[in-house]
Structure 1
Amino acid sequence: MDKPVVIEEYTPNWTLQFTEEQKIIKEIMGDAAIAIEHIGSTSVAGLSAKPILDMMVGVRNLNDIDVFIEPLKTIEYEHVFHKEFPNRRFFRKGLWKAGTHHLHIYQYGSKEWNHNLLFRDYLRSHPNVRQQYEQLKKELANKHLFDRVAYTNAKAPFILDIIKKAKKER
Protein backbone atom coordinates (compact mmCIF):
# COMPACT_ATOMS: atom_id res chain seq x y z
CA MET A 1 0.00 0.00 0.00
CA ASP A 2 1.14 3.53 -0.74
CA LYS A 3 2.18 5.86 2.02
CA PRO A 4 -0.77 8.18 2.84
CA VAL A 5 -0.86 11.68 1.40
CA VAL A 6 -0.23 13.87 4.44
CA ILE A 7 -0.26 17.66 4.28
CA GLU A 8 1.87 19.23 7.02
CA GLU A 9 1.88 22.82 8.27
CA TYR A 10 4.58 25.01 6.71
CA THR A 11 7.96 25.05 8.43
CA PRO A 12 10.93 27.35 7.65
CA ASN A 13 13.03 24.19 8.03
CA TRP A 14 12.12 23.35 4.42
CA THR A 15 14.05 26.39 3.21
CA LEU A 16 17.04 25.41 5.35
CA GLN A 17 16.93 21.86 3.96
CA PHE A 18 16.85 23.28 0.43
CA THR A 19 19.92 25.45 1.10
CA GLU A 20 21.85 22.40 2.34
CA GLU A 21 20.81 20.20 -0.60
CA GLN A 22 21.52 22.99 -3.09
CA LYS A 23 25.16 23.16 -1.92
CA ILE A 24 25.64 19.38 -2.17
CA ILE A 25 24.04 19.16 -5.63
CA LYS A 26 26.09 22.13 -6.86
CA GLU A 27 29.28 20.40 -5.67
CA ILE A 28 28.41 17.35 -7.77
CA MET A 29 27.05 19.07 -10.87
CA GLY A 30 29.33 22.11 -10.91
CA ASP A 31 28.89 24.44 -13.88
CA ALA A 32 26.46 22.03 -15.55
CA ALA A 33 23.87 23.33 -13.06
CA ILE A 34 23.11 26.82 -14.38
CA ALA A 35 20.61 27.37 -11.55
CA ILE A 36 19.12 25.36 -8.70
CA GLU A 37 15.67 26.46 -7.52
CA HIS A 38 13.43 25.42 -4.64
CA ILE A 39 10.01 24.68 -6.18
CA GLY A 40 6.76 23.05 -5.15
CA SER A 41 4.72 23.77 -2.08
CA THR A 42 7.63 23.58 0.38
CA SER A 43 9.12 26.62 -1.40
CA VAL A 44 6.15 28.87 -0.59
CA ALA A 45 6.28 30.41 2.90
CA GLY A 46 3.08 29.76 4.82
CA LEU A 47 1.81 27.00 2.51
CA SER A 48 1.06 23.59 4.02
CA ALA A 49 2.58 20.78 1.98
CA LYS A 50 3.53 17.15 1.72
CA PRO A 51 6.95 17.13 3.44
CA ILE A 52 8.81 16.44 0.20
CA LEU A 53 11.45 18.91 -0.89
CA ASP A 54 11.14 19.66 -4.61
CA MET A 55 14.18 21.12 -6.31
CA MET A 56 14.79 22.03 -9.91
CA VAL A 57 18.14 22.17 -11.68
CA GLY A 58 18.47 24.06 -14.95
CA VAL A 59 21.00 22.70 -17.43
CA ARG A 60 22.01 23.56 -21.00
CA ASN A 61 21.24 20.12 -22.40
CA LEU A 62 19.33 17.23 -20.83
CA ASN A 63 21.41 14.74 -22.80
CA ASP A 64 24.43 15.74 -20.70
CA ILE A 65 22.78 14.55 -17.46
CA ASP A 66 23.62 10.84 -17.75
CA VAL A 67 27.14 11.51 -16.43
CA PHE A 68 25.57 12.64 -13.13
CA ILE A 69 23.43 9.53 -12.50
CA GLU A 70 26.17 7.71 -10.56
CA PRO A 71 27.55 10.77 -8.69
CA LEU A 72 24.02 11.74 -7.59
CA LYS A 73 23.51 8.17 -6.37
CA THR A 74 26.42 8.72 -3.94
CA ILE A 75 24.28 11.37 -2.19
CA GLU A 76 21.24 9.07 -2.25
CA TYR A 77 19.48 10.49 -5.34
CA GLU A 78 18.18 7.62 -7.42
CA HIS A 79 17.43 8.25 -11.09
CA VAL A 80 13.82 7.36 -11.96
CA PHE A 81 13.01 7.10 -15.65
CA HIS A 82 9.61 8.53 -16.69
CA LYS A 83 8.95 8.09 -20.40
CA GLU A 84 5.85 10.30 -20.06
CA PHE A 85 8.12 13.28 -19.20
CA PRO A 86 10.71 13.41 -21.99
CA ASN A 87 11.73 17.00 -21.12
CA ARG A 88 12.68 16.16 -17.54
CA ARG A 89 15.19 14.00 -15.71
CA PHE A 90 13.98 12.94 -12.28
CA PHE A 91 15.81 11.77 -9.17
CA ARG A 92 14.32 10.69 -5.87
CA LYS A 93 15.89 10.59 -2.42
CA GLY A 94 14.15 8.32 0.07
CA LEU A 95 12.06 5.19 -0.26
CA TRP A 96 10.01 4.27 -3.34
CA LYS A 97 6.60 6.04 -3.17
CA ALA A 98 7.82 7.70 0.03
CA GLY A 99 10.60 9.99 -1.18
CA THR A 100 11.82 12.86 0.98
CA HIS A 101 13.42 14.87 -1.85
CA HIS A 102 12.57 15.17 -5.53
CA LEU A 103 15.14 16.53 -7.95
CA HIS A 104 13.76 17.67 -11.31
CA ILE A 105 16.27 18.54 -14.03
CA TYR A 106 15.07 20.63 -16.96
CA GLN A 107 16.66 22.56 -19.76
CA TYR A 108 17.25 26.02 -18.32
CA GLY A 109 14.68 28.50 -19.63
CA SER A 110 12.44 25.76 -21.09
CA LYS A 111 8.65 25.90 -20.87
CA GLU A 112 8.71 23.44 -17.94
CA TRP A 113 11.41 25.45 -16.13
CA ASN A 114 9.47 28.69 -16.56
CA HIS A 115 6.10 27.18 -15.58
CA ASN A 116 7.51 25.91 -12.27
CA LEU A 117 8.85 29.36 -11.44
CA LEU A 118 5.67 31.15 -12.56
CA PHE A 119 3.51 28.95 -10.35
CA ARG A 120 5.79 29.25 -7.31
CA ASP A 121 6.19 33.00 -7.63
CA TYR A 122 2.45 33.56 -8.16
CA LEU A 123 1.64 31.66 -4.96
CA ARG A 124 4.32 33.63 -3.11
CA SER A 125 2.85 36.97 -4.20
CA HIS A 126 -0.90 36.15 -3.99
CA PRO A 127 -1.82 35.08 -0.42
CA ASN A 128 -5.49 34.54 -1.36
CA VAL A 129 -4.53 32.11 -4.15
CA ARG A 130 -2.06 30.40 -1.80
CA GLN A 131 -4.93 29.86 0.68
CA GLN A 132 -7.19 28.48 -2.07
CA TYR A 133 -4.46 26.07 -3.14
CA GLU A 134 -3.85 24.96 0.43
CA GLN A 135 -7.56 24.28 0.93
CA LEU A 136 -7.70 22.32 -2.32
CA LYS A 137 -4.65 20.25 -1.32
CA LYS A 138 -6.16 19.37 2.06
CA GLU A 139 -9.48 18.35 0.46
CA LEU A 140 -7.72 16.24 -2.17
CA ALA A 141 -5.42 14.64 0.42
CA ASN A 142 -8.51 13.48 2.33
CA LYS A 143 -10.23 12.29 -0.84
CA HIS A 144 -7.16 10.49 -2.24
CA LEU A 145 -5.46 9.49 1.02
CA PHE A 146 -3.66 6.44 -0.41
CA ASP A 147 -3.43 7.47 -4.07
CA ARG A 148 -0.67 9.99 -4.70
CA VAL A 149 -1.14 9.86 -8.47
CA ALA A 150 -4.85 10.72 -8.21
CA TYR A 151 -4.01 13.47 -5.69
CA THR A 152 -1.40 14.97 -8.03
CA ASN A 153 -3.64 14.68 -11.11
CA ALA A 154 -6.55 16.34 -9.29
CA LYS A 155 -4.38 19.41 -8.54
CA ALA A 156 -3.36 19.85 -12.20
CA PRO A 157 -6.31 21.99 -13.42
CA PHE A 158 -5.77 24.51 -10.59
CA ILE A 159 -2.02 24.66 -11.30
CA LEU A 160 -2.53 25.15 -15.05
CA ASP A 161 -5.07 27.90 -14.37
CA ILE A 162 -2.60 29.73 -12.13
CA ILE A 163 0.18 29.45 -14.72
CA LYS A 164 -2.16 31.01 -17.32
CA LYS A 165 -3.01 33.86 -14.92
CA ALA A 166 0.66 34.40 -14.12
CA LYS A 167 1.55 34.60 -17.83
CA LYS A 168 -1.19 37.20 -18.43
CA GLU A 169 -0.02 39.34 -15.50
CA ARG A 170 3.63 39.18 -16.52
Structure 2
Amino acid sequence: MTHSDIVVSKFDERWSEIFQSMKQVLSKYLNDLIIDIEHVGSTSVQGLGAKPILDIDIVIENYDVFPHVIQGLENIGYFHQEEWSFYGREAFGRKDVYTPWDGNSTRWMEHHLYVCNKDSKELARHLVFRDYLRNNPQVVIEYENLKRNLANTVKDRTSYTLGKTEFISMILEKVTDQMIK
Protein backbone atom coordinates (compact mmCIF):
# COMPACT_ATOMS: atom_id res chain seq x y z
CA MET A 1 0.00 0.00 0.00
CA THR A 2 1.34 3.43 -0.90
CA HIS A 3 1.46 6.34 1.49
CA SER A 4 0.66 8.90 -1.17
CA ASP A 5 -1.70 9.23 -4.10
CA ILE A 6 1.23 8.88 -6.50
CA VAL A 7 1.08 5.95 -8.89
CA VAL A 8 4.08 5.11 -11.03
CA SER A 9 2.69 3.15 -13.98
CA LYS A 10 4.57 0.74 -16.21
CA PHE A 11 5.75 2.40 -19.44
CA ASP A 12 2.93 2.56 -21.99
CA GLU A 13 3.63 2.77 -25.74
CA ARG A 14 0.40 4.76 -26.15
CA TRP A 15 1.93 7.75 -24.33
CA SER A 16 3.96 8.61 -27.41
CA GLU A 17 0.98 8.08 -29.71
CA ILE A 18 -1.23 10.32 -27.55
CA PHE A 19 1.50 12.97 -27.53
CA GLN A 20 1.69 12.84 -31.35
CA SER A 21 -2.11 13.29 -31.60
CA MET A 22 -2.02 16.23 -29.20
CA LYS A 23 0.93 17.73 -31.06
CA GLN A 24 -1.14 17.68 -34.27
CA VAL A 25 -4.02 19.54 -32.58
CA LEU A 26 -1.71 22.08 -30.93
CA SER A 27 0.24 22.64 -34.16
CA LYS A 28 -2.95 23.20 -36.11
CA TYR A 29 -3.97 26.08 -33.83
CA LEU A 30 -0.53 27.57 -33.22
CA ASN A 31 1.25 26.79 -36.53
CA ASP A 32 3.36 29.85 -37.42
CA LEU A 33 3.61 31.07 -33.81
CA ILE A 34 5.78 28.19 -32.61
CA ILE A 35 9.09 26.53 -33.45
CA ASP A 36 8.36 23.05 -32.09
CA ILE A 37 6.42 20.96 -29.59
CA GLU A 38 8.51 18.64 -27.42
CA HIS A 39 7.44 15.57 -25.44
CA VAL A 40 9.50 15.79 -22.26
CA GLY A 41 9.35 14.19 -18.83
CA SER A 42 9.30 10.51 -17.95
CA THR A 43 6.50 9.56 -20.35
CA SER A 44 8.82 10.53 -23.23
CA VAL A 45 11.47 7.94 -22.32
CA GLN A 46 11.03 4.44 -23.76
CA GLY A 47 10.72 1.85 -20.98
CA LEU A 48 10.56 4.31 -18.07
CA GLY A 49 7.72 3.86 -15.61
CA ALA A 50 6.03 7.15 -14.82
CA LYS A 51 3.02 8.92 -13.43
CA PRO A 52 0.65 8.74 -16.43
CA ILE A 53 0.81 12.49 -17.08
CA LEU A 54 2.37 13.86 -20.27
CA ASP A 55 4.75 16.81 -20.04
CA ILE A 56 4.66 18.99 -23.15
CA ASP A 57 6.86 21.99 -23.94
CA ILE A 58 5.74 24.29 -26.75
CA VAL A 59 8.80 26.16 -28.03
CA ILE A 60 8.53 29.77 -29.21
CA GLU A 61 11.15 32.03 -30.77
CA ASN A 62 10.70 34.79 -28.19
CA TYR A 63 8.13 36.52 -26.02
CA ASP A 64 6.94 38.80 -28.86
CA VAL A 65 4.56 36.04 -30.00
CA PHE A 66 3.51 34.96 -26.50
CA PRO A 67 0.25 37.01 -26.34
CA HIS A 68 -0.83 35.34 -29.61
CA VAL A 69 0.12 31.92 -28.25
CA ILE A 70 -1.99 32.57 -25.12
CA GLN A 71 -4.93 33.47 -27.37
CA GLY A 72 -4.44 30.39 -29.54
CA LEU A 73 -4.31 28.13 -26.49
CA GLU A 74 -7.37 29.80 -24.93
CA ASN A 75 -9.27 29.06 -28.16
CA ILE A 76 -8.77 25.31 -27.56
CA GLY A 77 -9.47 25.21 -23.83
CA TYR A 78 -6.27 26.17 -22.01
CA PHE A 79 -5.69 29.05 -19.61
CA HIS A 80 -2.45 30.72 -18.60
CA GLN A 81 -1.43 29.84 -15.03
CA GLU A 82 0.72 32.81 -14.14
CA GLU A 83 1.13 31.63 -10.54
CA TRP A 84 2.93 28.46 -11.82
CA SER A 85 4.94 30.32 -14.45
CA PHE A 86 8.30 32.04 -14.52
CA TYR A 87 10.30 33.73 -17.26
CA GLY A 88 11.22 31.14 -19.86
CA ARG A 89 8.56 28.60 -18.81
CA GLU A 90 4.90 29.55 -18.82
CA ALA A 91 2.38 27.06 -17.43
CA PHE A 92 -1.09 26.39 -18.80
CA GLY A 93 -4.05 24.61 -17.24
CA ARG A 94 -6.96 22.80 -18.89
CA LYS A 95 -10.58 23.90 -18.68
CA ASP A 96 -11.77 20.28 -18.93
CA VAL A 97 -10.78 16.72 -19.94
CA TYR A 98 -11.52 17.56 -23.59
CA THR A 99 -8.72 20.17 -23.72
CA PRO A 100 -7.20 20.58 -26.25
CA TRP A 101 -10.55 20.92 -27.97
CA ASP A 102 -10.23 19.14 -31.30
CA GLY A 103 -13.86 19.21 -32.46
CA ASN A 104 -14.20 15.46 -31.80
CA SER A 105 -14.83 15.53 -28.03
CA THR A 106 -11.61 13.57 -27.45
CA ARG A 107 -11.01 12.88 -23.76
CA TRP A 108 -7.28 13.56 -23.49
CA MET A 109 -4.83 12.00 -21.10
CA GLU A 110 -3.82 14.21 -18.18
CA HIS A 111 -0.95 16.48 -19.16
CA HIS A 112 1.12 19.49 -18.15
CA LEU A 113 1.54 22.10 -20.85
CA TYR A 114 4.29 24.70 -20.88
CA VAL A 115 5.37 27.37 -23.33
CA CYS A 116 9.11 28.01 -23.35
CA ASN A 117 11.16 30.44 -25.36
CA LYS A 118 13.88 28.66 -27.34
CA ASP A 119 16.66 29.98 -25.08
CA SER A 120 14.92 28.97 -21.85
CA LYS A 121 17.12 27.24 -19.27
CA GLU A 122 14.13 25.13 -18.22
CA LEU A 123 13.57 23.91 -21.79
CA ALA A 124 17.27 23.06 -22.07
CA ARG A 125 17.12 21.13 -18.79
CA HIS A 126 14.04 19.18 -19.93
CA LEU A 127 15.64 18.23 -23.26
CA VAL A 128 19.07 17.36 -21.83
CA PHE A 129 17.60 15.18 -19.09
CA ARG A 130 15.20 13.43 -21.50
CA ASP A 131 17.91 12.78 -24.07
CA TYR A 132 20.36 11.51 -21.43
CA LEU A 133 17.78 9.01 -20.18
CA ARG A 134 16.92 7.93 -23.72
CA ASN A 135 20.59 7.10 -24.30
CA ASN A 136 21.31 5.41 -20.95
CA PRO A 137 19.02 2.42 -20.25
CA GLN A 138 20.77 1.59 -16.96
CA VAL A 139 20.01 5.08 -15.65
CA VAL A 140 16.36 4.61 -16.70
CA ILE A 141 16.20 1.56 -14.40
CA GLU A 142 17.79 3.51 -11.52
CA TYR A 143 15.42 6.42 -11.99
CA GLU A 144 12.33 4.21 -12.13
CA ASN A 145 13.42 2.38 -8.96
CA LEU A 146 13.86 5.72 -7.20
CA LYS A 147 10.43 6.90 -8.33
CA ARG A 148 8.71 3.68 -7.24
CA ASN A 149 10.44 3.81 -3.86
CA LEU A 150 9.37 7.44 -3.36
CA ALA A 151 5.78 6.68 -4.42
CA ASN A 152 5.69 3.96 -1.74
CA THR A 153 7.26 5.98 1.05
CA VAL A 154 6.43 9.69 0.76
CA LYS A 155 3.15 11.23 1.82
CA ASP A 156 2.60 13.89 -0.86
CA ARG A 157 3.52 15.08 -4.34
CA THR A 158 5.88 17.78 -3.04
CA SER A 159 7.98 15.20 -1.16
CA TYR A 160 7.94 12.97 -4.24
CA THR A 161 9.23 15.79 -6.44
CA LEU A 162 11.89 16.79 -3.90
CA GLY A 163 12.99 13.17 -3.68
CA LYS A 164 13.73 13.14 -7.41
CA THR A 165 15.52 16.50 -7.44
CA GLU A 166 18.91 15.22 -6.24
CA PHE A 167 18.95 12.49 -8.89
CA ILE A 168 17.94 14.90 -11.67
CA SER A 169 20.51 17.48 -10.54
CA MET A 170 23.24 14.82 -10.51
CA ILE A 171 22.40 13.84 -14.12
CA LEU A 172 22.26 17.46 -15.30
CA GLU A 173 25.61 18.16 -13.61
CA LYS A 174 27.18 15.09 -15.23
CA VAL A 175 25.89 16.10 -18.68
CA THR A 176 27.06 19.69 -18.20
CA ASP A 177 30.52 18.47 -17.16
CA GLN A 178 30.69 16.24 -20.26
CA MET A 179 29.67 19.15 -22.51
CA ILE A 180 32.43 21.36 -21.08
CA LYS A 181 35.18 18.75 -21.59
Taking structure 2 as the reference length, the TM-score comes to 0.81
Per the TM alignment, residue 78 of structure 1 is displaced from its structure 2 partner at its CA by 3.0
Aligned counterpart, 2:60: 59
Per the TM alignment, residue 19 of structure 1 is displaced from its structure 2 partner at its CA by 0.3
Aligned counterpart, 1:137: 147
SS of the equivalent of 1:82 reads: strand
| C-alpha spacing 1:66/1:160, structure 2 compared with 1 (3 Å) | same
List gaps (5 residues or longer) in structure 1. none
| C-alpha spacing 1:84/1:25, structure 2 compared with 1 (3 Å) | closer
Per the TM alignment, residue 169 of structure 1 is displaced from its structure 2 partner at its CA by 2.8
Within a 5 Å distance, the mapping from 1:5-154 to structure 2 comes to 5-62=6-63, 64-82=65-83, 85-93=86-94, 100-145=110-155, 147-154=156-163
Aligned with residue 161 of structure 1, among 141, 145, 170: 170
Separation in structure 2 between the aligned mates of residue 24 and residue 14 of structure 1, nearest angstrom:
16
1:39-84 per-residue CA deviation (whole Å, 9 max, x = no partner) reads: 0000000000000011111112235323333432343333222366
SS of the equivalent of 1:38 reads: strand
| Percent of matched pairs sharing the same residue | 37
Moved more, 75-84 or 12-21: 75-84
Separation in structure 2 between the aligned mates of residue 50 and residue 75 of structure 1, nearest angstrom:
25
1:113 maps to amino acid: L
2:130 maps to amino acid: R
Per the TM alignment, residue 107 of structure 1 is displaced from its structure 2 partner at its CA by 1.0
Per the TM alignment, residue 89 of structure 1 is displaced from its structure 2 partner at its CA by 0.7
| C-alpha spacing 1:22/1:84, structure 2 compared with 1 (3 Å) | closer
| C-alpha spacing 1:63/1:118, structure 2 compared with 1 (3 Å) | same
2:134 maps to amino acid: R
Task: Find the structure with the greater CA-based Rg.
Answer: 2
1:167 maps to amino acid: T
Moved more, 27-36 or 13-22: 27-36
| C-alpha spacing 1:84/1:28, structure 2 compared with 1 (3 Å) | closer
Separation in structure 1 between the aligned mates of residue 7 and residue 84 of structure 2, nearest angstrom:
27
| Count of residues in Structure 1 that have an aligned counterpart in Structure 2 | 164
SS of the equivalent of 1:81 reads: strand
Taking structure 1 as the reference length, the TM-score comes to 0.86
Two-structure CA RMSD over aligned residues (Å)? 2.1
Separation in structure 1 between the aligned mates of residue 120 and residue 77 of structure 2, nearest angstrom:
27
List gaps (5 residues or longer) in structure 2. 98-108
| C-alpha spacing 1:63/1:83, structure 2 compared with 1 (3 Å) | farther
Separation in structure 2 between the aligned mates of residue 74 and residue 142 of structure 1, nearest angstrom:
39
